[in-house]
Amino acid sequence: MTMPPPAPLSPDAVLELARLEGYSHLDPDTAARIATGAANAVRAVTESVRESLFEVEPADYLAELERLADETVTAPWTGR
C-alpha cells in the first residue's frame, strides 16, 4: 500500500512550532530553511522506504542476518 506524501511543512508552521517551544527569536528566513530541510528529509526517507533494501524474503531475514553476523565476526582476523 502506497502512502500519499505528507503535506509540506510551511515556514509559518515552523515559526508557530518554534514559538510554542519557546524559540521566539526564529526569523522567517531560518524558518523557511528549516521547512525546506524537513521536506527534503521526509522525501529522502520516503524514497528509501519505497525501494527494496533486501533481496531476501521476509521469512529468511533471520537466517540472512545470522549469515551476515558470521561474516562480520570471522572476516577481520581470518583475512576473508
On whether residue 1 sits in a domain, the answer given is: no
On whether residue 2 sits in a domain, the answer given is: no
Per-residue buried b or exposed e for 40-59, using 16+ beta carbons within 10 Å of the residue's own CB: eeeeeeeeeeeeeeeeeeee
On whether residue 74 sits in a domain, the answer given is: yes
Determine the pLDDT at residue 79: 55
Determine the pLDDT at residue 4: 66
On whether residue 69 sits in a domain, the answer given is: yes
* 16: containing domain: 11-78
Residues 50-58: what's their mean pLDDT?
A: 63
Rounded CA gap, 6 and 17, in Å?
17
On whether residue 37 sits in a domain, the answer given is: yes
On whether residue 46 sits in a domain, the answer given is: yes
| pTM, to two decimals | 0.54
On whether residue 22 sits in a domain, the answer given is: yes
- Write the pLDDT tens digit of every residue in 1-41: 456 666 778 999 999 999 999 988 899 999 999 999 998 88
What total number of domains does the chain contain?
Answer: 1
